[in-house]
Amino acid sequence: MFKHYFEQIHNIEIWPIISLILFFVFFTITMIWIFFLDKEYIDKMKSLPFENESDETETNLKI
């Protein structure tokens, strides 16, 4: 069914290549960003949920 529609679209064979290139570029940029990310920033982000939770418990205890 879809084959008929796809045959009528001009230059459809380029879209899978563009999709692959976009994915590869995004993946590569993400990996580079993670590799060069500051370790202190990672530790800070890692401990954020615990800091927020302890603040809420302290405010609940004061009430």
Per-residue pLDDT of the chain (63 residues; tens, 9 = 90+): 677 777 777 877 888 899 999 999 999 999 999 999 999 988 888 888 777 665 555 555 555
Residue 11, sorted as left (phi over 0), alpha (psi -120 to 50) or beta, turns out to be left
Q: What is the 3-state secondary structure (H, E, C) of 11-32?
A: CCCHHHHHHHHHHHHHHHHHHH
Is the C-alpha dihedral spanning 13, 16, 20, 25 positive or negative?
positive
Could you tell me the pTM of the whole model? 0.55
CA distance 56 to 46: 18
Domains of the chain, by residue range, sit at 2-62
